[in-house]
Amino acid sequence: SSGGGSKDPPTPTAQATTGSRPPLPVRIALVSSATALATPTFPALGFLYLVGRAAVRDDAVRRSLEGRTGAVVSFAAWTLVPTLYGGPVASLILPCAIGNAAVAGSAYGALDLACGGPTTEAGRWALRTPYITGGGIGAATGYLGPNYAYGPILERLYGLDGMSASVERLMGYPLANEACVATGALAGALMYPL
């Protein structure tokens, strides 16, 4: 052996900790941009939630049918989603995408900082648990975005005075908040692997 350190291969733990991770601002930007780009699909998820809620009143039956509603999912995927990415509806979705991106990025950043980053024990647990990072941040975004971000962004972006009050009135309906939080949680859990 000619002068050097150990020739042993690195352990799996050493490999996992020495890998490169993007810095926090980059991770926040990734969460924000992925959320903004996926936002036009969220109303379709909300539609599915509301159809399921309206069509099946019994909670136990509704839960047993989740994932088995091919016709409604097909309609949402092939009819609603393309409409939401273009045309006049897209201009209404843009402020929502901006609001969702800001809230999701902020929530992720706060969670990351609270855990001490993804390399700590708490960070490995929280940031790698889909129900916390995906569903939790999604649910928070589903509540905070519509209730606090959409109205001011609509007013600022399009000069529509009174939109904050209109959105606030809409979100005053319990079903509206319920649908937004459920949609956010589902979307966050589905987007978690990204």
Give pLDDT tens digits for 49-84: 666 666 666 766 666 655 555 555 555 555 666 666
Top pLDDT among 64 and 104 is at 104
* Residue 39, pLDDT above cutoff 90: no
- pLDDT per residue as tens digits for the range 118-140: 889 998 888 888 878 888 999 99
Average pLDDT over residues 103-111: 95
Quote the CA–CA distance of 6 and 100 in Å, as a whole number: 49
Place of tokens 């001011």: 152
Confidence (pLDDT) at 1: 46
Average pLDDT over residues 89-107: 89
Confidence (pLDDT) at 20: 75
C-alpha distances (whole Å) from 141 to each of 39, 66, 121, 190 are 11, 23, 25, 14
| Torsion of Cα atoms, 128 then 32 then 184 then 45, to 10° | -110
| Torsion of Cα atoms, 85 then 36 then 41 then 89, to 10° | -40
C-alpha distances (whole Å) from 104 to each of 1, 26, 34, 135, 152 are 53, 14, 10, 11, 17
Using pLDDT thresholds of 50, 70 and 90, give the confidence band for residue 14: very low
Quote the CA–CA distance of 98 and 36 in Å, as a whole number: 6
Q: Which contacts of 21-29 are long-range, i.e. CB under 8 A and separated by 24 or more positions?
A: 21/118, 21/119, 24/109, 24/112, 24/113, 24/117, 27/108, 27/109, 27/112, 27/118, 28/105, 28/106, 28/108, 28/109, 28/112, 29/105
Quote the CA–CA distance of 56 and 44 in Å, as a whole number: 18
Top pLDDT among 13 and 116 is at 116
Using pLDDT thresholds of 50, 70 and 90, give the confidence band for residue 90: confident
Top pLDDT among 142 and 175 is at 142
Residue type (1 letter), 134: G
* Residue 194, pLDDT above cutoff 50: yes
Average pLDDT over residues 156-182: 90
* Residue 109, pLDDT above cutoff 80: yes
H helices present in 39-171, as ranges: 42-55, 59-65, 70-75, 81-84, 87-115, 121-127, 137-144, 150-158, 163-171
Using pLDDT thresholds of 50, 70 and 90, give the confidence band for residue 145: very high
Average pLDDT, the chain: 79
Confidence (pLDDT) at 15: 44
